[in-house]
Amino acid sequence: MEYLGSLGDDKTVCGGVIRQFQAICAYPHGSWHEEPLMDYLEALCRSRGWTTIRDTYNNLRADVPATPGMERAPLVVLQGHTDMVCAVAPGSGYRPAEDPIVTVVEDGVLRSDRRSSLGADNNLGNAAVLWLLGQGVPHGPLRLLFTVAEEVGLQGAKRVDPAWLEGARYLINTDGFTFGQAVISSAGGRRETYTKKLHTVPRAGGHAFAIRLSGFLGGHSGYDIHKGRGNAIKLLALFLGELREQVDYDLADFRGGHAHNAIPLEAEAVITADRAFAAPLAMAVERLRSNMARLFSHTDPDIQVSLREVPPPERVWNRGSRDSTLDLAALLYNGVFAMHDSLPGQVSASANLGRLYVNDRREIELDEFIRCAIDFSEEILGFQHARAAKLTGFHVQADSYPGWLGDADNPLARAMAKVYRRQTGGKLDITAVHVGLEPSVLGARHPGLTMISSGPDIVNPHSTDEHAPIDTLAPYVRLLAGTLEELART
């Protein structure tokens, strides 16, 4: 008999999870800046009598004793990452390194106040686990594993001591975005960072104009890449590349996006040109606005294209810096590259141009993210990108992680499917996803580990429109509770 009645009704469960999530949101937690949040989580775990270990990277382990009588059940790891992609609404004044996330519940969803992304990826799953284990649900021995820096290439998971996984039979990752799914396979990933020293020259004269593309929906470069959303950086770079044939201009600035693995919401360039080119420039921008409105009317209906005169800068990029940057941005692949041959509708390979800006070292930097389920696809894209870098004089640094080729016919998936059918009358969708998940790294460190990933519904992660429909929160908590009890009693 499942211990579900004592959790309370759906309103009670949702309220408890949301309060726990809001407590997490009080601490800024961008990648590699999770220390204050980990201080809070460690103190919370210790206050409940759980034994904790924390490594030098701020990964946190907490051992939760079994319910009396269930001590001989297999050890289950409940794992989630604590960092977030900090998308910021233009002009909002939000400071990711300093400001808490302000949450709002409206129209049946949990969201931020729209100044920032929500960070439900993955802290809503962490909040569900923490609240649930405070309710006295029956379970065998558990180990909580909170990792850092997942959003920058699963870096925290790569640094987890393999000893932290010793003795575990099962691992439930809570980084899923769709309730009713159990993920048993994920794509490998390759983060590419292209850099080249920026060379500038004194501005020769002329007026300065800012061209801005904004209002794109953006999103997660894995979960949302198949939706055909516009990439603001790519579109602006292509426009500026074509503009070279029509207007004699210099480039003074180009920036857009905020992370390798987020589809960019906006991009802006500042150019300088003689006043005589103002009219042709305005006409070219108007054509761009019209074409984008038609091309992205369904995926990005709120796109805006603006042209305004700005104070002229003292220096501009030399033509070599300008042309090589625009050429590289044009040559880097963006969007879906291949589909699975055995999983209809499932993306197999993709790439995303996530950021272009001048970094603190006065280098032009472009950030690209490749996702592939098959190594050969990564080889093809990697070769194409290496040639593009060589042709344009950019240096590329790459960091990758493996895919996770799981088995749907495993006892953990079967146990969750059994509980799901009992609780909902439906069939659990056991599937693969086109994103990187930490089980790919953790499973390699402990080959005998049986793993799945699950979670409540999360929509538009990695964007300021990220939100979580609250009607799946309570069902997800009940599914976790039922699964833990099922594993402890079998």
| pLDDT tens column, 269-316 | 999 999 999 999 999 999 999 999 999 999 999 999 999 999 999 999
Say if strands 450-453 and 168-173 run parallel, antiparallel, or are unpaired. Answer: parallel
Which residue do the tokens 């210790």 mark? 46
Whole-structure pTM value: 0.82
Per-residue model confidence (pLDDT) at position 390:
98
Q: Average pLDDT for residues 120-138, to the nearest whole number? A: 96
Which three-class secondary structure state does DSSP give residue 256?
A: strand
Query: Is the pLDDT confidence value at 202 over 70?
Result: yes
- What pLDDT sits at residue 374? 86
Q: Which amino acid is at 357?
A: Y
- The pLDDT of residue 442: 96
For the beta carbon of residue 228, count every other beta carbon within 10 angstroms: 13
User: Both ends of the chain: CA-CA distance in Å?
Assistant: 13
Instruction: Give 279's contacts (C-beta < 8 A, 6+ positions apart).
Output: none
Beta strands per DSSP E along 205-266: 207-214, 219-220, 249-257, 262-263
Looking at the predicted structure, is the pLDDT value of residue 5 above 60? Answer: no
Q: What is the pLDDT of residue 102?
A: 97
Phi, psi of 449 (to 5 degrees): -80, 130
User: Cα-flanking dihedrals φ and ψ of residue 3, to 5°?
Assistant: -90, 65
Beta bridge partners of 307: 211
Of 234, 368, 381, the closest CA to residue 295 belongs to: 234
Tokens of 228: 């055909």
- For the chain, give me the number of helices (H) and strands (E)? 11, 25
Report pLDDT digits (tens) over 132-184.
999 999 999 999 999 999 999 899 999 999 999 999 999 999 999 999 999 99
The fraction of the chain above a pLDDT of 90, given in percent, is 90
Q: Which helix (H) or strand (E) holds 486?
A: helix 473-489
Q: Which of 435, 377, 30 is nearest to 221 (CA)?
A: 435
CA–CA distance, 430 with 420 (Å, rounded to integer): 12
Q: Say how far apart CA 303 and CA 294 lie, in whole Å.
A: 11
Consecutive H or E run containing 143? strand 142-147
Contact, 77 vs 165, CB < 8 A?
Answer: yes
pLDDT at 120: 97
Angle CA(356)–CA(362)–CA(364) in degrees, nearest 5?
30
Mean pLDDT of the chain: 95
Backbone φ and ψ for 384, nearest 5 degrees, come out as: -60, -45
Hey, which residues are catalytic here? 83, 150
Tokens of 88: 């910021």
User: What are the residues whose beta carbons fall under 8 Å from the beta carbon of 91, sequence distance 6 or more?
Assistant: none
- Cα 244 from Cα 235, distance rounded (Å): 15
How many other C-beta atoms can be found within 10 angstroms of the C-beta atom of residue 301? 10
pLDDT, position 273: 95
Helix, strand, coil distribution of the chain in percent, nearest 5: 35, 30, 35
pLDDT band, residue 2 (cuts 50/70/90):
low
**pLDDT greater than 80 at residue 54:** yes
Does 3 have pLDDT greater than 70? no
CA 240 centroid distance within chain: 28
Pairing of strands 75-81, 142-147: parallel
What pLDDT score does 130 carry? 98
- CA dihedral over 32, 35, 40, 45, signed as positive or negative: positive
Mean predicted confidence (pLDDT) in 400-406: 87
Residue 279 is encoded by which pair of tokens? 């009219």
Cα 193 to Cα 130: distance, rounded to the nearest angstrom: 36
